[in-house]
């Protein structure tokens, strides 16, 4: 390779266009190839290969649009590379509560819907904004613009409902506040002096406890998909009932077809029947409860009274505890063809007659379909506690209306009670230490006894004495 060609190669990567660099690179490659074929060895071969590498680098950078700098230039003389600008817009900071109503109103106005902000309530899980609508504007028109509201707020999970003359727009909080079961227990205390069948279903939008009394419900359906908080709610309900009752005021029948949910409560003294499984075992447990109910009606007739309340007044010396049946999961029983009919007949009969006899049902399911919550069951279980479900169809079966499919999960629920309408609540979370504390306090009431080599704690009375 000639000294002139070597100099051209050495300068090929400096200040040249990609086309110029390519021409030099091509000539150099041809020269090296001819010399190699002729068998000539040149001391410039190694240097030429290095220059070729630098030239190739310069060509690549030029094609990418990057500045081409001399390879041997000192660091202080090199042109700094300009950082690439991101093509993504910067993330907007979350709106504060005060800015949300204005943003909502502006988003609706862009689509011809005029609203006026009335008030905002800061709830544990959402900000609830109430608006009045301009004359002639339907709530359904606002609901149809939910996606536009979510886009304006940069927040998913917005729900639009109606309350009287107002449209309510619930916006999920960027940071939710969760309620602890122990907080309400410590505030209210425990013991049988309180209504033995009452429990805190959660905190409402005003962050105040919302209490449910099974004595007046008188039966409850709890529904929610995986992760919704349904199972935690069931445990909180059982813990509350146990914590404020004795075997003289409460007897529980627990049916656990999945065999994994309710077993930890089996040794509580108030638990009279525990069924781990489904099919005929569950059917038998429900039949026993029916027998108790029928026996009570016979006793009412003999005593000349109509229901359990009158009986307790007439015979204060004869305790007649409330009977509560908790089933989790109802779908496993209702979808079992071998026992479905028998299970449904028992559930419906208890639901129809149980209140007067002090017998109450708590039915929990992840699958609130019409095959599980049948027309007869739904008609006789009026109280509903519904967490997030998979679809609007499931919401209508479980709650009687849409909305539960839009809930946030983790205890965010809708409580529908006869005569009270629908209330949005954040269910309390109960921990393992809470469960252990409830069981320890309950077991301390009665000494343990041994059955089949297993030590359990039970009251020393029969099912309905």
* Helix 181-188 with 432-443: angle, nearest 10 deg: 40
| Cα–Cα distance, 296 to 316 (Å, whole number) | 15
Give the position of tokens 């979370």. Answer: 429
- Please tell me whether 226 is known to bind a ligand: yes
- Please tell me whether 392 is known to bind a ligand: no
Identify which of 254, 198, 177, 195 has the alpha carbon closest to the alpha carbon of residue 412: 177
- Please tell me whether 180 is known to bind a ligand: no
Q: Please state, in angstroms and as integers, the Cα–Cα distance from residue 96 to each residue in 63, 100, 127, 306, 359, following that order.
A: 48, 7, 10, 57, 48
- Please tell me whether 224 is known to bind a ligand: yes
- Please tell me whether 161 is known to bind a ligand: no
| Cα–Cα distance, 48 to 59 (Å, whole number) | 16
CB atoms < 10 A from the CB of 420, how many? Answer: 11
Residue 448's H or E segment, with its range, is: strand 448-451
- Please tell me whether 227 is known to bind a ligand: yes
**DSSP class of 262:** S
- Please tell me whether 204 is known to bind a ligand: no
Q: Please state, in angstroms and as integers, the Cα–Cα distance from residue 440 to each residue in 33, 100, 226, 446, following that order.
A: 91, 47, 30, 11
- CA of residue 18 relative to chain centroid, distance: 59
Q: Which regions of 228-354 does DSSP assign to beta strands (E)?
A: 250-256, 271-276, 322-328
Q: Quick check: helix, strand or coil at residue 227?
A: coil
- Please tell me whether 277 is known to bind a ligand: no
| Cα–Cα distance, 19 to 23 (Å, whole number) | 6
Contact in structure between 153 and 206 (CB atoms under 8 Å): no
Give the position of tokens 């919302």. Answer: 210
Query: Residues annotated in the binding site, as ranges?
Result: 224-231
Q: Which residues are annotated as a binding site for ATP?
A: 224-231
């Amino acid at each position: 390779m000639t000294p002139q060609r070597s100099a051209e190669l050495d300068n090929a990567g400096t200040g040249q266009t990609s086309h110029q660099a390519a021409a030099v690179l091509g000539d150099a490659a041809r020269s090296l190839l001819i010399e190699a074929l002729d068998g000539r060895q040149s001391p410039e071969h190694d240097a030429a290969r290095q220059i070729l590498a630098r030239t190739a680098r310069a060509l690549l950078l030029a094609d990418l649009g990057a500045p081409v700098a001399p390879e041997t230039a000192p660091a202080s003389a090199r042109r700094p590379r300009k950082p690439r600008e991101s093509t993504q817009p910067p993330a907007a900071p979350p709106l504060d509560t005060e800015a949300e109503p204005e943003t909502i109103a502006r988003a609706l106005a862009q689509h011809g819907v005029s609203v006026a902000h009335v008030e905002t309530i800061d709830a544990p899980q959402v900000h609830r904004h109430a608006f009045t609508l301009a004359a002639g504007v339907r709530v359904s028109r606002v609901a149809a613009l939910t996606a536009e509201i979510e886009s304006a707020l940069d927040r998913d999970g917005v729900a639009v409902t109606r309350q009287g003359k107002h449209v309510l727009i619930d916006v999920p909080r960027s940071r939710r506040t969760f309620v602890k079961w122990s907080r309400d227990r410590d505030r209210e205390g425990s013991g049988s002096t309180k209504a033995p069948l009452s429990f805190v279903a959660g905190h409402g939008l005003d962050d105040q406890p919302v209490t449910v009394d099974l004595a007046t419900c008188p039966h409850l359906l709890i529904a929610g998909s995986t992760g919704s908080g349904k199972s935690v709610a069931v445990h909180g309900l059982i813990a509350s009932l146990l914590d404020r009752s004795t075997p003289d005021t409460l007897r529980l029948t627990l049916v656990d077809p999945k065999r994994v949910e309710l077993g930890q409560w089996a040794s509580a003294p108030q638990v009279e029947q525990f069924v781990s499984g489904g099919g005929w075992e569950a059917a038998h447990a429900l039949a026993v409860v029916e027998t108790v109910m029928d026996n009570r009606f016979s006793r009412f007739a003999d005593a000349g009274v109509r229901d359990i309340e009158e009986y307790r007044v007439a015979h204060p010396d004869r305790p007649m505890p409330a009977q509560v049946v908790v089933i989790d999961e109802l779908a496993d029983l209702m979808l079992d063809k071998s026992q479905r009919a028998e299970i449904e007949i028992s559930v419906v009969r208890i639901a129809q007659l149980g209140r007067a006899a002090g017998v109450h049902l708590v039915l929990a399911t992840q699958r609130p379909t019409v095959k599980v919550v049948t027309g007869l069951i739904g008609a006789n279980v009026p109280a509903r506690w519904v967490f997030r479900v998979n679809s609007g169809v499931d919401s209508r079966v479980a709650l009687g209306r849409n909305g539960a499919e839009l809930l946030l999960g983790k205890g965010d629920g809708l409580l529908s009670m006869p005569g009270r309408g629908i209330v949005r609540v954040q269910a309390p979370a109960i921990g393992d230490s809470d469960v252990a504390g409830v069981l320890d306090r309950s077991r301390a009431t009665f000494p343990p006894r041994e059955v089949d080599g297993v030590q359990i704690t039970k009251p020393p009375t029969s099912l309905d004495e």
